[in-house]
Structure 1
């Protein structure tokens, strides 16, 4: 029996239980949109390149090649809310105690080919009471909550803020091409933001604790995610192929205050994204962010500040120095304005990469820090409490070699002298929740 069929049978079985027990709920979202994306790269060369020692090489016959645009239109999903199917339930154990579960699967309703076979969005079991809640399983990380709660677009669709986009792939920054500190030689190995070793959106194999809700507006959580890798003692017994014995570990926390129109929260997380036992290196991404919102009634304001560091720890520092730390800083400003049955949404976000490169000679010109900013504007019209129409347009402007997009196709020609510049996109769709 295939995993898809097994999941379908399980869904029917749980649905049957739901009809007999009010404590079990079937819920979900189906969101579909007509979406378009366009990414443009340009040849910004002037005939000057640099050798491995940083000395300039001039080419008097250089001919500028213009630009390359990659574009695509598609029927997409999750432009306003993420499409999903889930089951949740609670059992009253008496004495103020309750046991609960939450199983939530993604849905690719645009083509129906994937989804539902795994509960990768969330799969937890918990025990709660006056002491708070202890939660076990796969869940959202504390640091991600500030990205999505304080984003008018909720990190969905082309309007999702750059702080989330950049941090989601930051764990993939693993080193410099050919191991040298060359300008623009930093290689970015893309990772899924909510799977594998990145742990930015979600962390599996986790234990979480949440404060009880009756603390006068104060709230908080802590999380620890096991890497579940085999450890060998002595270390020399580690197999040569075992080069990620600590990858996947996550530890983080989030604490905030919400009262009336004000909501503010500070979060920190540390994720081990790579390690090489025999090389003696461990790579971690440490993230600190602060988010806030204030509802004035006619308008609601949002904001977030974020700082992340991709750092390699060496058991023995290399003679010529190790890989420099890479810093990623960013901010988000957003607003929502209710208009009758609708809601206007807008945000501006910006990120900057600092590779901390050092010139190797007095003549070397180091590249400027990579930067990107994004403007997103949208409108949501609620047809009912569960159904809404929405429209979003967004544009990303990249500088100095940054390569962030609104989604869709990646920049073309970047390995052949072209520099990523702009990315634009739109979503026009419908969302139904049940």
Structure 2
């Protein structure tokens, strides 16, 4: 469940969809929204998968991996899609070539170096903020939802963002015998139709290159140390006739060190939402929007259990320029999050867990731990704080 408390900040919205902060607003009171749920994926993502490997001889192997999300709280989502992972691969002494839908290189740092593994209310704000920072309309493969189905509940959508996963991708992974060094590169096809001449391109947004992803991750893991650097670029908007292409470029660095009594985690992240213009506008184009963040975390083994804690923070910088000496620009939106939890292992397969987390927003930021939304109310309210709790049981088989 999650609870949040709001203060009204006006009803105008900025380029990110946030209500514009106004220090002279009339206090219209507050709104508190709360909800209790029997949910899933509070500790590990609920999933059901199938995988296999065939030895081809000579050190070669062919493999497949199909992994489906399941909602075991209500049973409505079963093995209906394989949007978590759907890959085939060929591996050997050269490494591995993997085709299909898989985690992006940049997301790996978010989840590997997060004590909560980007699950439940403890998920770090770096991952939460970046997940919506690079969203795009339509499907990553260019398919459009038929009008007749637009109001019908849909299966999990494989499109809309390339931050966590990318479909239609080709990935290459270095072999595991490099003395602790590891790495991968990925290219995700947009699968949009190219027209010649270009002026034959349909007059529609995101019709040319939206959905393309390219990225890589390289690191070193040896003994208690693990450190990795990742970069990715996702095309999130494209208008041929306007002559603009919008990309989100993400760079992050993560590390962990296991001292034995405690294990420390950390991550630095920077993402840039930028517009490339075929012809630069006379008065200048839209400024880049920067999203920076960091994470500090720790896990402490205690008998059969594990204490987990993290602190994460993000800031949005719209790089606005004053149009006159008297214009006062709004302050950058900021948010931070503190999370702490405990996992008690009943066996190798079964564990009990509990987590509490709290998000604090400033200057109109509207990040939450999940649960009730505020922007959809239409009242111009943004969450000042958001608090969430997870209590549950995890069973793996």
TM-score by length of 1: 0.82
The one-character-per-residue Cα deviations of 1:242-263 (angstroms, maximum 9, x if unpaired) are: 6421000000000000000000
Deviation string 1:358-407 (CA, Å, 9 cap, x unpaired) is: 11112211110000000000000000001000000000000001000001
Q: How far apart are 1:313 and its partner, in Å?
A: 0.5
Q: Deviations over 1:405-434 (max 9, x none)?
A: 001111258753434200000000001001
Cα 1:385–1:55, aligned 2, differ >3 Å: closer, same or farther? Answer: closer
Q: Answer with 246-255 or 236-245: which moved more.
A: 236-245
Cα gap change, 1:96/1:267 in structure 2, threshold over 3 Å: closer, same or farther?
same
CA distance in 2, matches of 1:315, 1:186: 36
Offset, 1:197: 4.3
- How big is the shift at 1:49? 9.8
Distance 1:364 1:414, change over 3 A: farther
Query: 1:320 offset after TM fit, Å?
Result: 2.1
Equivalents in 1 of 2:16, 2:164: separation in Å?
Answer: 40
CA offsets per residue over residues 250-282 of structure 1, 9 Å max, x none? Answer: 000000000000000000000001111111110
Q: How many residues align?
A: 397
Partner of residue 239 from structure 1, selected from 202, 206, 209: 202
Q: Is residue 86–residue 102 contact of structure 2 (8 Å, CA) maintained in 1?
A: yes
Distance 1:431 1:54 in 2: 36
Larger Rg, first or second structure (1 or 2)? 1
Q: Which runs of 5+ in 2 are unaligned?
A: none
Does the residue aligned with 1:50 lie in a helix, a strand or coil? coil
Q: Is the 8 A contact 2:195 2:201 kept in 1?
A: yes
Distance, in Å, in 1 between the alignment partners of 2:16 and 2:36 is: 44
Cα deviation digits, residues 173-223 of structure 1 (max 9, x gap): 899999999999999999999842420000000000000000000000000
Given candidates 379, 385, 390, the residue that maps to 2:353 is 390
Q: Deviations over 1:146-177 (max 9, x none)?
A: 00000000000000000000000001389999
RMSD of aligned alpha carbons: 6.2
Question: In the alignment, is residue 157 of structure 1 matched against residue 120 of structure 2?
Answer: yes
Normalising by structure 2, what TM-score?
A: 0.89
Checking the alignment, whether the CA contact within 8 Å between 1:41 and 1:418 is kept in structure 2 is: no
Separation (CA, whole Å) in 2 of partners of 1:149 and 1:171: 21
The 3-state SS of whatever aligns with 1:304 is strand
| Cα contact 1:194–1:202 (8 A) shared by 2 | no
Distance change >3 Å, CA 101–CA 41, structure 1 → 2: closer
Distance 1:53 1:268 in 2: 22
Q: In the TM superposition, what whole-angstrom CA distance separates every residue of 1:6-58 from its partner, at most 9, and x where no partner exists?
A: xxxxxxxxxxxxxxxxxxxxxxxxxxxxxxxx777777579999999999999
Change (3 A) 1:105 1:90: same
User: How far apart are the structure 2 equivalents of 1:158 and 1:91?
Assistant: 39
Structure 1, residues 331-368: CA drift from partner, whole Å, max 9, x if none? 00000000000000000000000001111112211110
Q: Which moved more, 1:417-426 or 1:85-94?
A: 417-426
**1:241: Cα distance to partner?**
3.2
- Return the alpha-carbon distance in structure 2 between the equivalents of residues 53 and 383 of structure 1: 45
Flag the 1:74–1:53 CA change in 2: closer, same or farther, 3 A.
closer
Partner of 1:82: 45
Instruction: Supply the distance in 1 between the matched residues of 2:257 and 2:117 (Cα, whole angstroms).
Output: 16
Determine the C-alpha separation between the residues in 2 that align with 1:269 and 1:392. 31
Are the structure 2 counterparts of residues 88 and 425 from structure 1 closer, same or farther at C-alpha, using a change threshold of 3 Å?
A: same
